[in-house]
Structure 1
Amino acid sequence: MRLQDRVAIVVGAGQSPGEGIGNGRATALTFAREGAKVLCVDHHLDSAQETVDLIAAKGGTAVAFKADVTKNADLKAMVADAHGRWGSVDILHNNVGVSLSGGDAELLDITEEAFDRCVAINLKSCILAAKHVIPIMRQQQRGSIINISSMAAITTYPYVAYKATKSAMIAFTEQLAYQNAQYGIRANVILPGLMNTPMAVDTRAREFKKSRAEVEAERDSKVPLRKKMGTGWDVANAALFLASDEASFVTGVTLPVDGGASVRRG
């Protein structure tokens, strides 16, 4: 019960269609298992409710909340709901992000519409969610913000908007950490590597007209550790550490969860 009596908002607590479990759903389940009350936020309310039902089946506490994260009013309402319902907001976990599913592409092929969409979902949502939660956390003199970036930020990733926004998320998290340390608020960012999640694998299988097994094998072959991708649970466990008191002296950190991919050079 490492998060007993904490209130957590998990943005992106549903998941894309496909096999396995997504980072957001795994994190919501993990937070709830460790005692947190979890507001499960997603654009698709039915998917968020599926996460809530999984939590309730294990005796946890969670509520589904529908939000379009590109809309400031929705993010403000999200924070107000959690705070009004449970009296505090101790953890904000920003997990939403799109690349191929948002129309992202290489430089010569990307459209203005796709670029704007990716920026709004990946970066603007993270900044505005923090804007609304920071006043509550400052008043409480405590809080943990965990942003999910990507190894794409520091590796040779080909698609423009995803790489740019996930890189910017690291800089924003460092700014959050520095400017809010005096209030007891911590901010850290996780960089997942190649993960076996519905968004990462099933989306690529559909986009590139390959079987899931083909995409899975190709991605597995690129991972140094055991030649096997990570799962949503690996990201969730990292997030649990950063959300818990075990990380009480950890802020401004960029944490790769990547099976060793980031240690390769050249």
Structure 2
Amino acid sequence: MLLKDRVAIVVGAGQSPGEGTGIGRATTLRFAREGALILAVDRDLASAEETAAMAAQAGGTCIAHQADVTDEAALAGAVAAAYGRWGRVDILNYNVGVSMAAGDALLPQLTEEAFDRVNAINLRGAIMIAKHVLPIMRAQRSGVVINVSSIAAVENTYNYVAYKTSKAGMVAFTAQIAMQNAEHGVRANSILPGVMETPMAMGPRLASGEKTRDQLIAERNAKVPLRRRMGSPWDVASAAAFLASDDASFITGVALPVDGGALARIG
């Protein structure tokens, strides 16, 4: 029970369409099993409610809440809902990310609209909800912010512009708030997942029809040094549970790869 009675806001706790489990849902369920009290936030309320029901079946306390991360007022409302219900906020976990599904592209094909859309969801939402959570955590003199970035932020073979720049901005922002809030007892770290088998990662690539699911899995597995196997959302959820816990009480400002050795191989 690493997180017993800790109040956590998980943003992106719903589920993208497609086979498998997303990182946000896996993290919510892992937090629930560790004893956290969770506000499961998603644009799709029905999907958040499904996650909350799964968390309850696992013995956790989880309330679904609808909010669009491109709307600061909605994010402020999510923070107010958690604080109003439980009287504190101990953990903020931001799991939202889009790329190709929002029009991301190589630079020659990239539009302003797609760039703005991806960054509004991936980066601006993380910044705006942190704006409303951090005063609470400062007043408590405790709290943890965990932002889910990507190894695309730092490796040089990912070619889609908006996703890469948004995730790199998230790493920089997380390090910034780590330093600005350290003296107040608030920690902030980012997680950099590598090649993952999630609906968000697999769905758009399968939609083209160029590869079967088995072909795509084999291609993505081959990119991972460790056991030649893609990561699972549960790998990221475990890293988030650790960073949120007292076991990581002396860790802040870190960008933690969960990537099966991909960045070590790149150097």
Give TM-score, length-normalised by structure 2.
0.98
Q: How does 1:79-90 map to 2 (within 5 A)?
A: 79-90=79-90
Q: How does 1:66-145 map to 2 (within 5 A)?
A: 66-145=66-145
> Residues 225 and 265 of structure 2 are in contact (CA less than 8 Å); yes or no, is this contact kept in structure 1?
no
Give, in whole Å, the separation in 1 of the partners of 2:93 and 2:194.
Answer: 18
- Tell me whether 1:231 sits opposite 2:216 in the alignment: no
1:7 aligns with 7
User: Helix, strand or coil: the match of 1:21?
Assistant: coil
Alignment coverage as a number of residue pairs: 266
Give, in whole Å, the separation in 2 of the partners of 1:239 and 1:20.
Answer: 19
User: Helix, strand or coil: the match of 1:189?
Assistant: strand
State the superposition RMSD in angstroms. Answer: 0.9
Give, in whole Å, the separation in 2 of the partners of 1:239 and 1:94.
Answer: 10
For residues 66-115 of structure 1, the C-alpha deviation after alignment (integer angstroms, 9 at most, x for no partner) is 11100010000000000001111000000001001111000000111111
Give, in whole Å, the separation in 2 of the partners of 1:223 and 1:75.
Answer: 35
Measured after TM superposition, the shift of residue 17 of structure 1 is 1.2
Give, in whole Å, the separation in 2 of the partners of 1:171 and 1:242.
Answer: 18
2:255 aligns with 254
2:178 aligns with 177
Measured after TM superposition, the shift of residue 265 of structure 1 is 3.1
User: Helix, strand or coil: the match of 2:108?
Assistant: coil
Give, in whole Å, the separation in 2 of the partners of 1:133 and 1:250.
Answer: 19
Give TM-score, length-normalised by structure 1.
0.98
Measured after TM superposition, the shift of residue 57 of structure 1 is 1.0
Change (3 A) 1:172 1:208: farther
1:64 aligns with 64
- Tell me whether 1:150 sits opposite 2:141 in the alignment: no
Give, in whole Å, the separation in 1 of the partners of 2:256 and 2:170.
Answer: 13
Give, in whole Å, the separation in 2 of the partners of 1:223 and 1:265.
Answer: 11
Measured after TM superposition, the shift of residue 209 of structure 1 is 4.0
> Residues 29 and 58 of structure 2 are in contact (CA less than 8 Å); yes or no, is this contact kept in structure 1?
no
Give, in whole Å, the separation in 2 of the partners of 1:148 and 1:121.
Answer: 12
> Residues 32 and 60 of structure 2 are in contact (CA less than 8 Å); yes or no, is this contact kept in structure 1?
yes
> Which residues of structure 1 form unaligned runs of 5+?
none
Q: How does 1:182-261 map to 2 (within 5 A)?
A: 182-207=183-208, 209-261=210-262
User: Helix, strand or coil: the match of 2:174?
Assistant: helix
Which residue identity is paired with 1:121? Answer: I
> Residues 67 and 74 of structure 1 are in contact (CA less than 8 Å); yes or no, is this contact kept in structure 2?
yes
For residues 173-208 of structure 1, the C-alpha deviation after alignment (integer angstroms, 9 at most, x for no partner) is 000100000110000000000001111112211145
Give, in whole Å, the separation in 2 of the partners of 1:228 and 1:218.
Answer: 10
Give, in whole Å, the separation in 1 of the partners of 2:139 and 2:24.
Answer: 27
Give, in whole Å, the separation in 2 of the partners of 1:59 and 1:175.
Answer: 36
> Residues 10 and 95 of structure 2 are in contact (CA less than 8 Å); yes or no, is this contact kept in structure 1?
yes
For residues 19-68 of structure 1, the C-alpha deviation after alignment (integer angstroms, 9 at most, x for no partner) is 22111000000001100011001111111111001011122100101111
The sequence identity of aligned pairs, in percent, is 62
> Which residues of structure 2 form unaligned runs of 5+?
none
Change (3 A) 1:208 1:193: farther
